[in-house]
Amino acid sequence: MSENSSLNIDNLVIYLLLIALPIFLFFVSFMLGRYPVAPIDVIKTILSPIFPSLAVSPELNSIVFTIRLPRIIAALLVGACLSLAGASFQGIFKNPLVSPDLLGVSAGAGFGAAIAILANMGNALIQLSAFIFGIISVSITYVISKSYRAGGILLLVLSGTAVSAFFNALISGTKFMADPYDKLPQITYWLMGSLSAVNFNKLSMIIIPLLIGVTVIMILRWHLNVLSMGDEEAQSLGLDPGKLRFIIIVACTLVTSAAVSISGIIGWIGLVVPHMTRIIVGPDHKILLPASLSIGASFLLLIDNISRTFISIEIPIGILTAVIGVPIFLYLLRRGYSEWN
């Protein structure tokens, strides 16, 4: 067997595993929780809408479809979108230390949720406020960076750092004004990240921005390889790097704001998963971005399963992603650093 044939078989195995992994975890996740469900019961419950003759108890039907299914879907979507945005940002900014919250989207979304909680708004308005303020914060970052004559990537990053610090200060001010026995715990818990309150109504609010953002990024993934080589190379091939970068930033902002609005602030997914994926499939964004979707979805779903089953009380996902993500990141950074030199 030739070396090329061996490589093709290895690649095929990797691609099949990337498809199978989230599907496998999707099924397994239904079995985990304070009320364990047997595999055969999961299958019967999932198939019961198609085959009414399958006898399923109302309790089991509620656990699978009402409680666990929306949470599992949310974990898959949030993990996939944060990973996709992180991989895209690392490509356009040519920096392996970039994450989706670089331009202030997470801080803005956190402030939006905090003021909505402080104003005693409902869950839908809290989610909407977080989504809107995430977009507003990135818009402010972009306007500030363009207000300077020598605007560029560095000024965009510095503007994002400043806007993030500003909105984090506003979050601190909101927490200072909040009732310490009622609103403050709600704000703090939201900022730590959780999928415990997810339902189909919340999911329906983010589907359109997620579809728009992911579709745009996937269509433009062919150009990310050129952008990662520099603006001069992109211009020599007839591309407008500034316009492409703007479109990708808008798309990433949409998916990140939508993801954060439903889950709270979950760090390290958009930073760790692209590194992990790059080592597995290589730096080609045509393959890297779809693979990041799969691994990011699987990774966050695995973390969410741990958060709700590890101990008797649920651990906020943001805590676990940091505790697990930091060692993984340091290992991957040591192993894959040469790719960025």
**pLDDT value, residue 117:** 96
d(CA 275, CA 271): 7
How confident is the model over 108-124, as pLDDT tens digits? 999 999 999 999 999 99
Range of the domain at 245: 70-99+193-340
In a domain? residue 60: no
The answer to whether 82 and 100 have CB atoms below 8 angstroms apart is yes
In a domain? residue 50: no
In a domain? residue 106: no
Is residue 337 predicted with pLDDT exceeding 70?
A: no
In a domain? residue 175: no
In a domain? residue 276: yes
Q: What is the total count of domains within the chain?
A: 1
Share of the chain above pLDDT 70, in %: 95
**pLDDT value, residue 205:** 94
Is residue 340 predicted with pLDDT exceeding 50?
A: no
The answer to whether 213 and 247 have CB atoms below 8 angstroms apart is no
In a domain? residue 249: yes
In a domain? residue 153: no
How confident is the model over 81-108, as pLDDT tens digits? 999 999 999 998 888 788 999 999 999 9
How confident is the model over 199-242, as pLDDT tens digits? 999 999 999 999 999 999 999 998 898 887 777 887 887 888 88
Triad 281, 287, 292: Cα angle to 5°: 75
Report the chain's mean pLDDT, rounded to a whole number. Answer: 90
Which sign does the torsion angle of CA 159, 160, 165, 166 carry? Answer: positive
In a domain? residue 185: no
Share of the chain above pLDDT 90, in %: 68
Domain CATH code at residue 317: 1.10.3470.10
Confidence category of residue 312, pLDDT binned at 50, 70, 90: confident
d(CA 53, CA 202): 31
The answer to whether 267 and 226 have CB atoms below 8 angstroms apart is no
**pLDDT value, residue 5:** 55
Give the residue-averaged pLDDT of 182-191: 94
How confident is the model over 236-266, as pLDDT tens digits? 878 888 899 999 999 999 999 999 999 999 9
